[in-house]
Structure 1
């Protein structure tokens, strides 16, 4: 029995992005909180956590109720990227611009690809 690839992969001439969707809850069109790994032609690899604005609101509201993160008084992540709408296409658009502008190195966290 073969292994199922947990990633949705988008390959473009300037990068390859792999989105680690939760197969039980996420679809390519609706994902709002996802880890992504971006490989560039220079063999560098960058990790990002991508959230939608609404997902950040949802998390803050939940934390306010549960008391986590100082009752939802802040939100942060080292490698965070916030996009206006859900879905792999919107997230890919943001990654495309980060790669084009060179800002991927400022936003993402460099990592060694185990492959």
Structure 2
């Protein structure tokens, strides 16, 4: 991740994953991140990845603030939940989604800008 590049990029033979980390987030601690997965066929898929603990934290915060019906639910269209924080754990999940073909169900296809 360079000074002008906000992404952490993981390149594997079957995909390239770009994680959009915030300025106060590290690759090891990230628990809530937008990611884009580019496949060799030219398709690109967007995911929002959360840890189980991050979902729990958000629900508790919303209960206190009254948001989302007092934290009574959590949802996201392109949601992927992983058991632990960090880009390595998230990459493991993406690797399996790509291998199984489930990336097309879990992710939201990004439009071709051209």
Q: CA 1:8/1:56 → structure 2, altered by over 3 Å: closer, same or farther?
A: same
Q: Show the counterpart of 2:89.
A: 90
Q: Show the counterpart of 1:8.
A: 8
Report the CA distance between 1:113 and its aligned residue.
5.4
Q: Show the counterpart of 1:46.
A: 45
Q: Show the counterpart of 1:107.
A: 106
Report the CA distance between 1:6 and its aligned residue.
0.2
Report the CA distance between 1:32 and its aligned residue.
0.1
Unaligned stretches of 5+ residues in structure 2: none
After TM superposition, list the pairs within 5 Å mapping 1:71-82 onto structure 2.
71-82=70-81
1: CA distance, partners of 2:14 / 2:21: 22
Report the CA distance between 1:8 and its aligned residue.
0.1
Is residue 31 of structure 2 the alignment partner of residue 32 of structure 1? yes
Which whole-Å deviations, capped at 9, do the CAs of 1:15-34 have from their partners, x for residues lacking one? 000000002x2100000000
Moved segments of 4+, more than 4 Å: none
Q: Show the counterpart of 1:64.
A: 63
Q: Show the counterpart of 1:18.
A: 18
Report the CA distance between 1:114 and its aligned residue.
4.7
SS of 2:99 mapped into structure 1: helix
Superposed CA RMSD in Å reads 1.6
1: CA distance, partners of 2:3 / 2:82: 31
SS of 1:42 mapped into structure 2: coil
Report the CA distance between 1:112 and its aligned residue.
2.6
